[in-house]
Amino acid sequence: MTSALPRTCVLTVAVLTALAALPAHAETAAQPTTLDRVEVTAAETTDAARKALARVPGAGNVIDLAKVAQGRVGGTADVLAYQPGISAQSPGNEGTKVSIRGSGINRGPGAHASGIAVSLDGLPLTAAGGTPYELLEPLWLSRVDVLRGANGFERGALALGGAINYVSRSGRDAPGLELHYEAGSRGYQKRSLGYGGVQDAVDYYFAYTDTEFDGYQKHASGDGKGAMANIGWQINPDLQTRFFLRYRETNHETPGRLTRAQIRNDPRAANPANLAIDAKRPQPGSTWIGNMTTLQLDEDSSLQAGLVYHKYPMDLNESLYRQQLDYANLNATLDYLRRHTLFGHDSVTTLGLRVTHDLDADVRETLRFASNGYPAGTHTRDFSHHGTDSTLHVSNELQLSDALRVQTGLALVQTRRTVEVTWPRTDARLNERDWDYAPRLGFTWQASPAAQWFGNLSRSVEPAHPWSMIWGSNQYFAAGNGASSGRQRAPVELDNQTATTLELGARGEGRIGRWELTGYYAHVNHELLSVEVVPVPNLFIAENNASPTVHRGIEAGLDSTLWQGGTGRLSLRQAYTFSDFRYRHDDRFGDNRLPGLPVHFYQAELRYDHASGAYAALNTEYASRVFVDYANSVRADSHLIFGSRVGFDAPSGRWQGWLELRNLGDRHYAATVTPGYDDGGRDVARSTPGEGFGVYAGVRLRFE
């Protein structure tokens, strides 16, 4: 294992050097990428976001939803496709499993996600209990900003995977009335109505969207509907405020995981245990109300404050037990930025506070079916798992020369966890408060007008979710406690997951196009890993701190113009991610790979755009085999799939239409894997199937 790192580093440096040496197009050389600092808001353009990314001493992605919407946009997996360093795979519903640099590798699809700090318009969505997904409707977005790894530092995002900020459409970038409809295989339909505009100092955007689908597997149908609003008010030249509202209801059946043999031979089947209990996941209505206000204190300093209330009840019916969850958060941000001189050099200092606080995180558990002499509906437990995460961070960016900038920073993290079973009442209660820290040192070096090097050495901190301290507990009610017998009775303590990560990379434009290449090495302690101990119907997934692990990898992206003439352009975009996640000399598993994600993941699209607005594309996705247990005794198969799409964007912007074909060869493959402990070579149901061959079409009309 240790000999692989030097070879990887040598390869990374060699390729980066070759790329940096490539001459740029003449027009690129005339526009250096070293730019003044740009403060990006929800209404600003994708180009401005890319310029802001160029100042970050690490890797990131800026995703333009106008490009994504030229095909099916069913969920987050469609939004995050073709992006280096990001794995996003759907189990057939909205519960997409998203991972960056191995973050959340332990999570199955559909669970509240871990390892990435997610925001909506700069306001925290991720709280102590993880990241819910039902509010991430793609048609409500203008773009997505991703800061991979420790590069979300200035946003108070200290998780291993970094930060994702979903930016809403506004009246400034989506004026007029817009109608959107798409439909396709297996009962898929999505309808959306949006309206935006600007009236003097106020801009506004409102949208309603609903979705329905039958699903690829049996027992996989679902639906969702909701509305959003984004209203901004420029009160005076120095003061701006923006209000956000999102409401959405979702419901889907849960078909369950399959064996490798089933994936190969009958991927549309449902897990018999899920069928027997009619497993499903209703989320009766999530409400998000937020405000972000920015005050320009003077020419060189600004203050930005954000506050959001988020209520998201759940009604889990995915095991023998019904669990009704009352979730609500109050989250806040406060950021002060000042430009000044330091040691005679231009400098920018940022001071920020990010707080997420559980107002409610209480669960009532009852029997869904008659069991052990107790009728359906019998009360089995009440428990609560509350958390508060507070991050105070300060950073400084110092411009030592026209080419070299250095960033330093330090964050202090306080976490509070209060977890207990409240009925039947026990004396076992976890009430802990912990402090941690995260320093950061990074640089950007503009080697030429068309090539920039960057790097950072950072520490990440990820506390355990409060719910994992009780849901995965190994302490149970003994026999004689009625219907509560055999259920977890007390929480367990879990340490913060921490990692020290070295990242080096480069990005720019040359003869080969716009490119980026990044290598990283993370030394992880107390990694939070989970394992399915008991399958459905009595589902039990335990989480614990692992022995030391290593996460290392390479992330590469390339967007090339292969040919350009007076009538059109032929382009190729590619994204490759190499992921090597291992134990470090574990007593039982040695240097085994961590299960759940492929070592090699590649996506590409070859596309022709005609000057008239017509376009045609051929795309592909490859993923290598994936271990499904920590003992590395079984692997899910690799896959190589192809798709295509054709469409037309009217030059006037008034209408758009497209036709998309997915998985042209109807290849059977595993989209996601939920890890087991040691399957001893047995073929256990741990995978959800990827979507088979499908045909989809859509149209968008705009009236101003």
**Position 271, amino acid:** N
552-607 pLDDT, tens digit per residue, is 999 999 999 999 998 999 999 999 999 999 999 999 999 999 999 999 999 999 99
Predicted model pTM: 0.92
Instruction: Please tell me which residue, 41 or 256, carries the higher pLDDT value.
Output: 256
Cα dihedral across residues 210, 214, 216, 220: positive or negative = positive
Fold of 42-703: Maltoporin; Chain A (2.40.170)
Average pLDDT over residues 375-390: 97
19, amino acid identity: L
Q: How many CB atoms lie within 10 A of CB 372?
A: 10
- For 512-550, what is each residue's pLDDT tens digit? 999 999 999 999 999 999 888 788 888 778 889 999 999
DSSP symbol at 38 = -
The angle at the Cα of 72, spanning 69 to 74, to the nearest 5 degrees, equals: 105
Nearest to 391 by CA among 145, 136, 119: 119
Is 70 exceeded by the pLDDT of residue 82?
yes
**Which pair of structure tokens corresponds to residue 143?**
């773009």
The DSSP annotation for 493-534 comes to --PPEEEEEEEEEEEEEETTEEEEEEEEEEEEES-EEEEEEE
Residue (of 429, 422, 420, 424) closest to 485 by Cα position: 424
Question: Rounded to an integer, what distance in angstroms lies between the CA atom of residue 616 and that of residue 92?
Answer: 26
CA angle 70, 509, 152 (to 5 degrees): 75
| C-alpha distances out from residue 665 to 60, 263, 575, Å | 33, 15, 22
* CA–CA separation, 337 and 350 (whole Å): 5
What gap in Å lies between CA 320 and CA 371, rounded to an integer? Answer: 9
**3-class DSSP assignment, residue 461:** strand
Closest CA to 418 of 428, 436, 432, 407: 432
pLDDT of res. 540:
77
Per-residue H/E/C for 650-690 = CCCCCEEEEEEEECCCCCCCEEEECCECCCCCCCCCCEEEC
Gap between the Cα atoms of 632 and 642, Å rounded: 29
Whether residue 459 contacts residue 440, with contact meaning beta carbons closer than 8 Å, is answered with yes
Question: Which residues does residue 410 pair with via DSSP β-bridges, in sequence order?
Answer: 394, 439
- Are 228 and 207 in contact by the 8 Å Cβ rule? The answer is yes
Distance CA 148, CA 340 (A): 28
CA atoms within 13 A on the CB side of 99: 27
Find the mean pLDDT for residues 182-197.
98
- Where along the chain do its domains lie? 42-703
Question: Does the pLDDT value for residue 7 go beyond 80?
Answer: no
pLDDT of residue 107: 75
478-510 as b/e: b if 16+ CB within 10 A: eeeeebbeebbbbbbebebbbbbbebbbbbbbb
Q: Tell me if 184 sits within 8 A of 695, measured CB to CB.
A: yes
Please say whether the beta carbons of 58 and 100 come within 8 A. no
pLDDT of residue 44: 57
Q: What per-residue confidence (pLDDT) applies to 227?
A: 98
Mean pLDDT across 680-691: 96
